Structure 1
Amino acid sequence: MGQVLLLLVVALTVAAVVFGVTVLVTGRDPGLVPVEPDGRAVPLPASRPLRESDVGDVRFDTATRGYRMAQVDQALRRTAYDIGYKSELIGVLEAEVTALREGRAADADELRRTREQAAAAAEAADATPVGDPGEAASADADGRSTVSGDADEPATVGAGVDEPAPVGPVDEPAPVPARAADADAPETAPAGAGELADPAGGRGQTVRPEPA
């Protein structure tokens, strides 16, 4: 019995050696893979929709008891958000197809515009770099200069419009007290004074009542 066990152990050892030599000769052994050091976690992207490769490339830092819980929780929340977004997008597409099949073109166009606006907003968020205060300051300066340049133009136009304002005074009937003075003038003035006409005022001759 002991010899049988000894022969079995020798056979297994020879088989293992032959297998290892065969694997090394054929080159099917990739060798040792370098281990990623701690502190180089690969989180999920937050600026675009997730892909299958993003979930496959995610890495977490190791702690005393497995991975760091904060990183795992953040990855799960990000994945849940992306799954919800895709579910809503699928619902919008299904509603759009249903509206087209039922002949509701207006509803289908409204759903299509909503979907395109959401996609455009996502593309703009991907194309815009995050945290570049220089470009934001230059954009604000350009916006202020453009607004100030446009705001100055109506001032000159308004000045041109206000030019016709100094027209002659309209209140010509102001010398009304002079007419009252003329009415009292015949009692004290000599005869014939009332027959004079005032060409400037445009008033006619003063008519006197005949004596009884």
Structure 2
Amino acid sequence: MGQLLLLLVVALTVAAVVFGVTVLVSGGDPGLVAVEPDSQAVALPGTRPLRESDVGAVRFDTGLRGYRMAQVDQAMRRAAYDIGYKSELIGVLEAEVTALREGRTDDADALRQAREQSASKVTDADAAKPDEDVPLDGDAGSGSAPVGSAGAAELPAATSSPADSDGVAPAVASADGEPADREQTDGAPADGAGQRDAVVRSETA
């Protein structure tokens, strides 16, 4: 019995030594790599103005502690930029109406031309590339390809709203989620002295 136990201990020792030498020669096994599951997230569109249906159709992937923070941050930055863009556009439209009421047709024409120029860029971009939904990235600022699955449900038919009737869209968000640079064009505030200082964000192709 004692010899059997001794033989068993020797065999285990030899096996451990062989295993250690094999690991040192071939390298350690890294094991299974964590893989992101197929994403069902639906991002806000970045090529046209937001609609009510776009916000209602937003979906985020869930993690251990709720929604994925990177996807939520990206969606909030996109919505905030669109709201700021439309606020500036409303300011330009109000300045144009004020100029028309005060009889300053030259200033009103300059504002209208700047607004139409911005709208024409959006029209050209929409004609070149149809609207499509972009899945959210798994990590913010990683620049990796989207992880959205091919079978993700499409957005429902979007309904138009008064805020979208201008046909002007904000600049396309960059890959890390940050808004693109805003182009400054001639505008006009309500007063007559500095009427060409209003800022209008335009869509970049």
TM-score range, shorter chain: 0.3 to 0.5
Relative contact order higher in (CA < 8 Å, ≥ 6 apart) = 2
Larger Rg: 1
Q: Using structure 2 for the length normalisation, give the TM-score.
A: 0.44
Normalized per residue, the structure richer in helix is 1
Q: Using structure 1 for the length normalisation, give the TM-score.
A: 0.43
